[in-house]
Amino acid sequence: MYPDHFEKEDLIKCGHGELFPGDMRLPIDEMLMVDRITHIAGDDGEYGKGSLVAELDINPDLWFFKVHFDGDPVMPGCLGLDAMWQLVGFFLAWSGGEGKGRALGAGEVKFFGQVLPTAKKVTYYLDIKRMIKRKLTMAIADARMEVDGKEIYTAKDLRVGLFTSTDDF
């Protein structure tokens, strides 16, 4: 079994296909929106099917503050949403799923705050609602994102699948 926490070096290994068997990979370099996973378990959370907590350290030198927007730097909301999808895929691989991860949608996404260059830390919380391990391996999760302890994004029914072939995707 895998550990219940992962450091940046582990996440980089996952980006190069060196952490889990199969093809599941996290993004690399700037698109990896997570610095560490502080908790992962398969039998807890709001629905009793697993949870994950992860963090991203914020500093004014992050690439997206330079381009989004000129004179009004803010982390794009889509990057926070993508981070939550990344983490659902990571949970699938951690729990034994194999294949290439693909985001499949979300039921409801709400943004009611922002990440500015003055922030220190983003924290992601995921609660797994459902795991499917048949021909398709998929997880459905609810998630929320906090910046410096204040909730700013929520997402319900995030869906990520693992595919052994993406030729017809």
pLDDT for 86 equals 97
Local confidence band at 78 (pLDDT 50, 70, 90 cut-offs):
very high
Percent of the chain with pLDDT over 90: 91
Model confidence pLDDT, tens digit, residues 105-151: 999 999 999 999 999 999 999 999 999 998 889 999 999 999 999 99
The structural domain count of the chain equals: 1
**2 is a domain residue:** no
Local confidence band at 22 (pLDDT 50, 70, 90 cut-offs):
confident
**137 is a domain residue:** yes
**76 is a domain residue:** yes
**64 is a domain residue:** yes
Between CA 86 and CA 160 the distance in angstroms is 8
Between CA 127 and CA 125 the distance in angstroms is 7
pLDDT for 6 equals 97
Q: Which residue has the tokens 């991203």?
A: 56
Range of the domain at 151: 8-163
Between CA 58 and CA 162 the distance in angstroms is 29
Report CA-CA distances (Å) from 100 to 39, 90, 131, 154, 163.
23, 11, 16, 25, 5
**169 is a domain residue:** no
* pTM for the model: 0.96
Report CA-CA distances (Å) from 91 to 6, 60, 126, 140, 142.
12, 29, 9, 11, 13
Catalytic-role residue among 5, 16, 39, 68: 68
**71 is a domain residue:** yes
68 is catalytic: yes
Q: At 86, which CATH number?
A: 3.10.129.10
